[in-house]
Each structure stands twice: as structure tokens, then as C-alpha cells.
Amino acid sequence: MINKLRFEPKELEILRFLSRRLELPLKNENLYLYLEKGYAGEQHFDRELQGLPDSCIILNDLLLENGSTHFQIDTLLIAGGTIFIFEVKNYEGDYYIENERWYSLLSRTEIKNPLLQLQRSETLLRGLLKEFGYYLPIKSHLIFINPGFQLYQAPINIPAVFPSQLKRFLEKLKNIPNAVKSRNLKLAEQLNAAA
């Protein structure tokens, strides 16, 4: 059950509108393409989640605050007695990890480590849940949605789901035992109110 829909980011709407009417400066053009690709990846993942049982609660695109710190979660799933955080990446091409740093293989340039964002979101969500009086386990995953993505030298224990693993991962989610739905709905309402 989708409890919070995903809407197109305002910044993407504005840049799309402007790009149709004028030539964007390179920095804005790159941002526009980045946002467009990211949003497409999130929509793809949304479609993949449609096959989950109705007992699963899906909250998309949450902007939350813990203390005075804001954080964003692409997709949050409440299934059984567990909360799943999904950070969706629509990366394309070859990447590698070296000394816990992420690089593009083509350009050999360092990119932001997506695990750091995932860990930050998990820590801040845990604090927020504590404020709400919930002590549920949180499982966080990077979702690499693009079939043209390859990551080399990844540790075996990286919390990531690669394109070739997505179908199996979704089957595991479908088999999570149901929990008390009213409790999960109450939590979903509190998270929606906080967003």
C-alpha cells in the first residue's frame, strides 16, 4: 500500500521548463540532467515495488527533521516489524571502490560515496523513531536501478542491491510475515505528518 506518493521535485520542474525556452548554463544543464535521471530511477523503483503485498506500507520522498538536521529518504518501506530505507541510484557505467572511496572508471574521478548518505539517513531516522516511541529494526539499502551499472571491488557486505539482484530481493520482501497493521499505519501517519 502506497501511503505517500512521489511527486516530481520542484527544482526539476523549473529546470525542465527553463530548458525548453532557453539554453541553460552548463552547471544548470548538468543539474537538470542529474535530477531528471535520478527522478526516472526513483519512478522505476516505484514500479518495481507495486507487486508487494498490501500489508507493506510505502512512503516516498520523505523530507524529515531530527533536531535541527534535515534529511531525505527516497523510499521508506514498513514491512512486518522492520523499516527499510532505500536510497535509489540511477548510475550508469562502470564504477569502482578503492580505500572506501568511490570512483568513475571512465574519468577516474571521485564521486560522492552514496553509503555515507544512507548511513546518515539511517542514524537520523533512528533518532526520530525514538522520539516517536518506536524501536523497530532499520535495514538500509542502496538500490542501483540502472541495468547499465557495474561496481568493481565492492565489499561482499555492502548494503546494496544491484540490477541483477533486484528481482530476488523483491521476492524476499514479498515473503516478510505480516505485523500488526494498525501499529505500522500509525507510524506511517506520524512520519507523513513530520515530512
pLDDT digits (tens, 9 = 90+) for 96-127: 999 999 999 999 999 999 999 999 999 999 99
Cell of 188: 506511517
Is the residue at 82 inside a domain? yes
Query: Could you tell me the maximum CA-CA distance found in the chain, to the nearest angstrom?
Result: 53
The pLDDT tens digits for 57-85 are 999 999 999 989 999 999 999 998 899 99
Q: Name the residue among 118, 10, 7 with its Cα closest to residue 73.
A: 118
Is the residue at 139 inside a domain? yes
Number of domains in the chain: 1
Length of the chain in terms of residues written: 195
Is the residue at 24 inside a domain? yes
pTM value > 0.75: yes
Is the residue at 195 inside a domain? no
Range of the domain at 118: 2-189
Is the residue at 25 inside a domain? yes
The pLDDT tens digits for 38-52 are 999 999 999 999 989
For residue 102, the domain's CATH number is 3.40.91
- Partners of 102 in the beta sheet? 97, 111
Is the residue at 154 inside a domain? yes
In one letter, which amino acid is 142? L
Is the residue at 149 inside a domain? yes
Is the residue at 194 inside a domain? no
pLDDT for 62 equals 94
